[in-house]
Amino acid sequence: MQALATLGLFLATALAEIVGCYLPWLWLRQGRSAWLLLPAAASLALFAWLLTLHPAAAGRVYAAYGGVYVAVALLWLWAVDGIRPGPWDWLGVAVTLCGMAIIAFAPRS
């Protein structure tokens, strides 16, 4: 059960970061409203706060979080940008998630 809670927290953290970065991208690259910067800032603040909720040491959390971020970013690419990831993308996700699982769930003394 702890593993599912940790994974859920990683997913929420990744979504907060992606939204916080995507909204300024829309403003800068697609000429959307600068008002998008307000929810972007709130989302990045949420991202930083969510990182503090992880029970592991900060460096370990950041390292493990990276694997989840890669997976969520590719799902975002598919769902939001409409670009379907290819087999090599999914292989990369599998590799990063294996690394994340080793870092996050390895037994510690």
pLDDT tens digits for 51-76?
Answer: 888 876 667 777 778 888 999 999 99
Residue-range definition of the domain harbouring residue 52: 2-105
Give the separation between CA 14 and CA 74, rounded to whole angstroms: 11
Place 25 in a pLDDT band, splitting at 50, 70 and 90.
very high
Q: Is 55 helix (H, G, I), strand (E, B) or coil?
A: coil
- 1, pLDDT greater than 80: no
Q: Name the pTM for this structure.
A: 0.82
Give the separation between CA 21 and CA 47, rounded to whole angstroms: 11
- 109, pLDDT greater than 80: no
Give the separation between CA 74 and CA 12, rounded to whole angstroms: 15
Give the separation between CA 100 and CA 68, rounded to whole angstroms: 7
CB atoms within 10 A of CB 12: 16
Q: What is the pLDDT of residue 61?
A: 77
Domain count, the chain: 1
Q: What is the pLDDT of residue 57?
A: 65
